Amino acid sequence: MELYAILGVTADATLPDVQRAYRRLARRYHPNINPGDQDAAARFRAVALAYEILSDPKQRREYDQKGDAMLAEAGGITFAFERFDFTASAEGPAASTFGELFADLFRPPRERSGRAERGADLHADIAVPFETAAEGGRHSVTTTRHDVCDTCFGAGRMAVPEAVCPKCAGEGVVRGARGHMVFSKTCPQCHGDGRRQAVGCSTCHGEGVVMRGQAIDVVVSPGVADGDEITLSGQGHAGRFGGPRGDLRVRVHVAPHHMFRRDGDDLLLELPVGVHEAALGARVEVPTPYGAATLRIPPGTQGGQQFRLRERGLPSLRRGRRGDLVVQIRLVLPPLVDERARALMRELASIWTEDVRKG
């Protein structure tokens, strides 16, 4: 079927050319002008179809690309005319109004309901203490999500004894009218079969899914960082009509610690050390997320100096080992609580004559 040939125009015809050809042919073949002439009625339908497609830029581009295959995809829509008053001028508002009457006749048919669809993903946030980031743990997330309907098992329809479709009376098509134009299309209830073998599920209203609240257990791996996302495959919304579930994506927020600061997989700790310990050297106990560790402070240690305790940091999710604990020394001066303490400090000052500000 060559739409350009039907209107008697070439493929490079402009929109005004198409409109003029349509008005001329529509007046010639309209059923009111040719009562009882089936050939004229068929030609009129062909002219109307050609005009509807070629006057719309989007449909015309699609037709130019696909040719007659586009018409086959339109689902074989048929239409007829009953006492349509075509005596009004085709110029001005009347022309566009007539075109609007065809708008939903040539729309591509909707997909048949019941095709399996993947469920949507769910998103949630959880807050965990620092200790869970260090050692791992479990956290419960309460979600409201689509679950498979228990009545129809996700199908959206329930089988019933086969009977004539009540909507189309077994014909497989339904008819409607707009103005004086009557059109027919495939019955949406039986999809053209003319027989009813199933009805929509009353529990899920044909969707195959219902909303339910549910608590889901989330496993938090050791070493998780603030802002990391945990994906639980298949824990999102259930898919419609038996489709696969979506995923649950959980964003983790790790609470800060009162002593440790995190730098990737390493931990930073500021350790108070007495002046005498730093000057003479000492062995001191250092807190870690996994219990205390011993740090040897060599004599002459300065404030701000750092020491590294290997693999006392957080587990790495990528490297398979723990980070380090970096200990920074903070010197603590002794309190001068009595005269003897002050005398000792004056004695130290008399012995230590070096100007510390000169480096």
pLDDT of residue 177: 62
Do both 92 and 194 map to the same domain? no
In a domain, 84, yes or no: yes
Confidence of residue 182 (pLDDT cuts 50, 70, 90): low
Do both 13 and 94 map to the same domain? yes
In a domain, 106, yes or no: no
- pLDDT over 90 (residue 248): yes
In a domain, 59, yes or no: yes
Do both 76 and 136 map to the same domain? no
In a domain, 293, yes or no: yes
Do both 342 and 270 map to the same domain? yes
Domain of 341 in residue numbering reads as 261-358
Calculate mean pLDDT across residues 253-274: 95
CB 114 within 8 A of CB 240: no
From 78-87, 120-129, 218-227, 260-269, the region with the lowest mean pLDDT: 78-87
Give the CATH number of the domain where residue 234 resides: 2.60.260.20
Do both 163 and 282 map to the same domain? no
- pLDDT over 60 (residue 133): yes
Of 267 and 77, the structure prediction assigns the larger pLDDT to 267
Confidence of residue 104 (pLDDT cuts 50, 70, 90): very low
pLDDT of residue 180: 53
- pLDDT over 60 (residue 259): yes
At 293-306, the pLDDT tens digits run 999 999 999 999 99
At 8-57, the pLDDT tens digits run 888 888 888 888 888 888 778 876 677 777 777 778 778 888 888 888 88
Phi, psi (degrees; rounded to nearest 5) at 330: -120, 115
- The most confident of the ranges 51-55, 170-174, 180-184, 288-292 is 288-292
pLDDT of residue 335: 86
The share of the chain scoring above pLDDT 90, in percent, equals 36
Do both 31 and 80 map to the same domain? yes
Do both 248 and 271 map to the same domain? no
Of 58 and 41, the structure prediction assigns the larger pLDDT to 58
In a domain, 107, yes or no: no
Distance CA 249, CA 245 (A): 13
Give the CATH number of the domain where residue 39 resides: 1.10.287.110
Do both 192 and 295 map to the same domain? no
- Vertex 327: Cα angle to 321 and 329 (nearest 5): 175
pLDDT of residue 348: 83
Tokens in use for 121? 């993903």
Burial class (CB in 10 A: 0-12, 13-18, 19+), 306: exposed
Do both 48 and 71 map to the same domain? yes
From 92-96, 205-209, 221-225, 268-272, the region with the lowest mean pLDDT: 92-96
Confidence of residue 90 (pLDDT cuts 50, 70, 90): very low
In a domain, 113, yes or no: no
Tokens in use for 23? 């008005």
Confidence of residue 137 (pLDDT cuts 50, 70, 90): very high
The pTM (predicted TM-score) of the whole model is 0.55
At 321-348, the pLDDT tens digits run 899 999 999 999 888 888 998 898 888 8
Do both 169 and 78 map to the same domain? no
Do both 266 and 338 map to the same domain? yes
Question: How many structural domains compose the chain?
Answer: 4
In a domain, 236, yes or no: yes
- pLDDT over 90 (residue 261): yes
In a domain, 70, yes or no: yes
Phi, psi (degrees; rounded to nearest 5) at 29: -105, 5
Do both 247 and 126 map to the same domain? yes
The mean pLDDT of the chain is: 80
Distance between first and last Cα of the chain: 96
